[in-house]
Chains A and B, each alone.
Chain A
Amino acid sequence: MKEKSEIRLVRTACPAHCGIDCCGILAHVKGDRVIKVEPGDFPDPKDRRICLRGLSSLEITYHPDRLKYPLKRVGERGEGKFERISWDEAFDTIANKFKEIANKYGWRAIGWVLGGPGAGTTKFGAYLRLASLTQSTRVSSWGYGDAGLPCGSRVLFGAHLPFTFFLPSLLPPSEPELVLVWGSNPAESQPLFMMRKIMDAKEKGAQLVVIDPRYTVTASKADEYLGIKPGTDAALALGLMHVLFNKGLQHDDFIRRYTNGPYLVRTDTGKFLRGKDLGEKEAEKYVVWDTVSNSPRTAAPTEVKSTLTGTYTINGVECKPSFQLLVDLAERYPPKKASEITGISAEFITKLAEKIGTVKTTAFVTHMGLARTYHGDISARAMGTVAAVTGNVNTSFGSGHLPAVLNWEPFLHTIPEKPSYHRLGILQLYDAVISGNPFPIKAVWFSFINFVNQCAHSGKIINEVFPNLEFIVTADMFMTPSARYADILLPACSYLEFSDFLPHPYPYVQLQQKVIEPLYESKSDVDIAAGLAKRLGFGEYFEGGEDGFVDLIMQHPSLSGITREKLKTQGAMNLPFIPDTGQKFDVQFSTPSGKIEIYAENLVEFGQALPVYLPPLESPVKLAGKKYPLAYIQGHSRFRTHSMFANVSPLLQMNPEPVVEINPIDAKKRKISNNDLVTVFNDRGHTTLRAKVTEGVRPGVVNITEGWWLEQFKEGSGNHLTHDVINPVHMFVYEPNMSMNDVAVEVVKYKEAKK
């Protein structure tokens, strides 16, 4: 751009929390102001992209409502009355208050509630480092909707996320003949990374099937749309397996080699038969039934000659291969029964199963929404089990976690000989604050989270969680509904004002390069953590700043050859190879057997060793006779990334206010017309907003897209309706998940609402 020599071009990347899209951004800078953003280059020009939010991101950076200075609360919590203070005063106040609380209750009583850092790493790492140095508590935010899929994936694949099937099956050299998008709407939530690949596959001839209670944009591209009842996915999976097994369409070799399907289970205890039960030296080894010798023996690393079916009596104990137990379970779900539960026709369940069982490759695509039900972990497992028994899991990915393997160790154990932080799931935070279980939390630090807006049961947060906290610090860009409850409120940078390392989108990594200096008195999260660390006596661990942390986090062999300097000039770079296991984070995973576990021995006590269908906790599966007859779910909107961009005016012009989507059948029963003000309510609370009467949502289901700010509703909010019930299996496997899509409500016209 010679004729515009005053324009400086900087290649950075958008870390917004849309998951793995992570668009490259080319920022045009004039003087000290970014005047334009456009899609940045990628090694493969086809991967160049941006979305309507990324295009609007300057509206965030230069938003008139940006928090400009540190603030201290002067009114009541939530009232929104604050007074400007200096950074010194802010840091001193926080450090003194933290020390005071730590003296009274121990450092464990201070919780770092770190929400979704998006694709960002060092801003997250900085707070983890501070948490580990002070041995305070990290409150993990996977549980605000994103722990269900990991729970299921950990049990089945021993991996935090099932990249094993939903990623590689869409990438070359795979050319799926069938793409099954199950409980996800990538056209709006992951348009660039996921939806483009789905449409590419479709162009090459794949058929697309979409399973969703809503007729989404993704569904509009489908060859077949299945409008399932929310929370009944496991029943659909079992119905599909019923057909697959009855027609012998499962992939026996794959099941033998890569799953624990051949391992014999004692039918008396539900536990696996072990070497010791045969009197073998290898006491803990699994046992299979050998088809050549027709006798039991300990399992080989790769099973080829074992049986998958039948019943065997060994030393007087009845045993079955775990695959046979799965077959027995699926036998109870003929298509007719699966149809009654799911609302999908029996004929179609049969046809779909036959298709999955006969095509060469099926790509299974899902994300977090499917598992945002009380038993969503089982939904995810059940779907993954269909993929596993049909050989549609890419074993070369092993226990895939994040696409790039990062070096978290120096953040978890900054001083190697000292223990790391304590850990609590965000759904456990409620009780920790209110009643001190499992241990008391007295002060919290919120970063990249809009807690009261995005977490379940907002009324409980406002009335019970916040009042029981002695001290609240929030770092944010805006006076969000949650920021209003802070005692000290710190202005954070927008993405153009600091550097970070972004390990997305697969197979690339990118540098989020600082484009302009922080506006006003805002600071990056790394600098904020550093400022507090200094006052707590840990300043030396933050001296390298953002760049130092970027270098530190990249110190992993899987990123060899990639440096910060190279990323600066080359933009996105390809990962040198597909990473396998070895992800070092603060949680352990990998299955006990080292195989895909279609049978989970450690869940026998819960009655969930197999992916059994359990009805939703609240979502009504039958319409009649319920106090709250409508199933309430929260889809994603393309106009927001969770609650980000909800205050951006060009997007608000296109999509001005929250609406509840309701089917004409349900609207008619309640005399609700399109655009009417209605109240959605249950025992926990209510919200008032306009109705959008549309065929795009299943009868019996209502949807409010998540992320609207509290004050954008006429009354209440989407999460005034949700609940904070903990599933003990989630606790046992990983951490409890919020069941945003497992909620029962009623809807009435606004004027008729009882207040």
Chain B
Amino acid sequence: MNKRLGLVIDQERCIGCEACTVACMIENNATAPWIQVETQNAAQKDTPSGRFPELRMDFLPRLCNHCSQPPCVDACPNEALVKREDGPVILDENKCDGCQACVPVCPYNIISYIPEKNLIEKCNLCVHRIDQGLEPFCVICCEGQAMHFGDLNDPKSEISKIIAEKETFQLKPDAGTNPSVYYCPPKPRKRI
């Protein structure tokens, strides 16, 4: 069986620090942030929802979901976006002509068009690193140790075990894309 490389992101351990955002931009020399940390249900970033002191603040790092059925790949007229056999959805910059056909079809609104380059940019799961046996850079730079990388098709991998043991979810399951990025929701509070 082919690998299905992906991520599990544990919201309980995400402290919203955006080290992933910074790490990714440095590692990939990115123009736009390929990972964006959303403060959920909040009017503005890094602020809670609710009324003081009954508040909540949860962070959701959003990035390319490396979908099993990626609409962006289907939409790309130039075969610039490719789904690799081991899972990552990657961009061949040389083939991208900036047509942006992929941008609106992404259910996660995570593909950025960069006008000054006339290219799109998105997370490539650090394939230059994983092909060397390394983890994506965001994973090793995660302050909260909230990000885990591995093969979703290998039941012995760390991330498969997390999915087996913990409650997880994928974003927009109804979109039919079967993302390779899973999230552990924040744990319910244990009132004392």
Binding site for B on A (CB under 8 A): 36, 38-39, 46, 48-52, 55-56, 178, 187-188, 191-192, 195-196, 199, 202-203, 207, 209, 215, 217, 219-227, 351-352, 355, 638, 650-651, 654, 663, 674, 692, 694-699
Contacts and interface: CB of A to CB of B under 8 A. Distances in A.
Interface in B167-191: 189-191
Contacts of B141: 38-39, 50, 55
Interface of B: 12-13, 15-19, 21-23, 25-27, 43-44, 46-53, 55-58, 137, 140-141, 143-145, 189-192
Contact of B143 (A38, A46, A192, A696): A192
B12 A52 contact: no
B16 A191 contact: no
A203 B144 CA distance: 12
A695 B52 CA distance: 6
A225 B55 contact: yes
A649 to B, nearest CB: 12
Contact of A695 (B22, B23, B51, B192): B51
Contacts of B56: 220
A49 B140 CA distance: 7
B51 A220 contact: no
A115 B15 CA distance: 29
Contact of A38 (B18, B137, B145): B137
B17 A227 contact: no
Contact of B15 (A217, A222, A351): A217
Given A217-B16, A695-B55, A195 B26 contact: no
Contacts of B23: 50, 52, 55
Contact of A199 (B13, B47, B49): B13
Nearest to A651: B22
Nearest to B190: A223
B192 A694 contact: no
A51 B145 contact: no
Contact of A694 (B17, B27, B44): B44
Contacts of A674: 43-44
Given A39-B141, A187-B15, A695-B50, A215 B55 contact: yes
Contacts of A692: 44, 47
5 closest Cβ pairs, A-B complex = A220-B57, A227-B53, A52-B19, A694-B47, A187-B15
Contact of A220 (B48, B53, B191, B192): B48
A203 B21 CA distance: 25
Contact of A191 (B15, B27, B190, B191): B15
7 contacts: A187-B15, A195-B15, A215-B55, A219-B57, A650-B22, A694-B44, A695-B49
A49 B143 contact: yes
Given A196-B145, A351-B192, A650-B25, A698 B19 contact: no
Contacts of B48: 215, 220, 694-696
A663 B192 contact: no
A32 B86 CA distance: 38
A224 B17 contact: no
B44 A215 contact: no
Given A195-B144, A224-B191, A227-B52, A188 B13 contact: no
Contacts of B191: 223-224
A223 B192 contact: yes
A222 B12 CA distance: 10
Contacts of B143: 49-52, 191-192, 195-196
Contact of B17 (A38, A352, A638): A638
Given A51-B143, A55-B22, A191-B144, A224 B189 contact: yes
A225 B53 contact: yes
Contacts of A698: 52-53
B19 A51 contact: yes
Contacts of A188: 15, 17
A242 to B, nearest CB: 18
A52 B18 contact: yes
Contacts of B21: 52, 654
A227 B141 CA distance: 31
A690 to B, nearest CB: 12
Contacts of B16: 217, 220
B26 A355 contact: no
A696 B55 contact: yes
B76 to A, nearest CB: 29
Contacts of B49: 695
Contacts of B140: 38-39, 48
A217 B39 CA distance: 11
A49 B144 CA distance: 9
For A55, A191, A697, which residue has the most chain B Cβ atoms within 10 angstroms?
Answer: A55
Nearest to A344: B53
Contacts of A697: 52
Nearest to A217: B15
A693 to B, nearest CB: 9
B171 to A, nearest CB: 21
Given A202-B12, A220-B56, 9 more contacts: A51-B19, A51-B143, A207-B192, A215-B52, A219-B57, A224-B189, A352-B192, A650-B25, A696-B47
Contact of B19 (A50, A178, A195, A220): A50
Contact of A36 (B26, B145, B192): B26
For B16, B18, B52, which residue has the most chain A Cβ atoms within 10 angstroms?
Answer: B52
B55 A55 contact: no
A20 B31 CA distance: 33
Contact of B22 (A48, A52, A178, A224): A52
Contacts of B43: 674
A70 B22 CA distance: 33
B44 to A, nearest CB: 7
A352 B192 CA distance: 7
B15 A695 contact: no
Contacts of B13: 199
Nearest to A48: B140
Contacts of A50: 19, 23, 141, 143
B47 A695 contact: yes
A654 B144 contact: no
For B12, B23, B25, B53, which residue has the most chain A Cβ atoms within 10 angstroms?
Answer: B53
Contacts of A224: 189, 191-192
A564 to B, nearest CB: 27
A217 B53 CA distance: 14
B143 to A, nearest CB: 5
A196 B52 contact: no
A209 B17 contact: no
Contacts of A36: 26-27
A222 B22 CA distance: 26
Contacts of A221: 12, 15
A225 B18 CA distance: 24
Contacts of A209: 192
A190 B87 CA distance: 35
A194 B145 CA distance: 13
B18 to A, nearest CB: 6
For A48, A209, A226, A694, which residue has the most chain B Cβ atoms within 10 angstroms?
Answer: A694
Contact of B52 (A48, A55, A223, A699): A699
